[in-house]
Amino acid sequence: MRFYREITLADGEVIVLRSLEKQDAGAAIFCLRQTSGETEFLLREVSECGMTIAQEEEVIKRKNDEKRGMLLGVFAGDALIGMAGLNACGAFERVRHRASIGISLLRAYWGRGIGTAMMHALIDAAKDAGYEQIELDVVEENKRALALYQRLGFKVAGHMPRAMKYRDGRYAALTLMVLSL
């Protein structure tokens, strides 16, 4: 699935949300490493972001060829500053109506409305793809993300204690959220 949208931020800066292309593979790996190192709210440790450019190119190609999935890049000028994904929860008929989503954004761009724009893009793409429900999970301590998702109409569907374990032995719980389309 392909996507393109320009948004103008409150300060006048234009941000482009578009499907990643093969030539974005190196920037995507760099962005994933950087965002993973800036917050504990994402799934991976920086050391687990070890895809090669060829592997990332294949992921991008596969996502662009999917009719119901998307890998979105967020660009400030030529710089990739964030990414978002729309994924089917499964291929079986009984779960075909469900999609999962996730976003990441460089910390320097937090609080500027870009996360909201990313979520609107994912919601619109999910509707266009025929999904009836979007699901996500969020670290319970991530109050900013929880507030964003609730503002957009997501409802809490459950909690998963000790869902993530950090290298120092601490655990984080996840809040599971759902949006009916």
The DSSP element (H or E) to which 31 belongs, if any, is helix 25-38
Question: Do 102 and 149 contact (CB within 8 A), yes or no?
Answer: no
For residue 56, count other CB atoms closer than 10 A to its CB: 20
Please write the tens of the pLDDT for every residue from 119-169: 999 999 999 999 999 999 999 999 999 999 999 999 999 999 999 999 999
Question: Do 4 and 125 contact (CB within 8 A), yes or no?
Answer: no
Closest CA to 132 of 145, 121, 123: 123
Q: What is the pLDDT of residue 168?
A: 96
Question: Do 71 and 59 contact (CB within 8 A), yes or no?
Answer: yes
- Per-residue confidence band for 44, with pLDDT thresholds at 50, 70 and 90: confident
Please write the tens of the pLDDT for every residue from 79-120: 999 999 999 999 999 999 999 999 999 999 999 999 999 999
Q: Where are the domains of the chain?
A: 4-180
Closest CA to 97 of 26, 160, 181: 181
Q: What is the CATH number of domain 4-180?
A: 3.40.630.30
Predicted TM-score (pTM) of this structure = 0.94
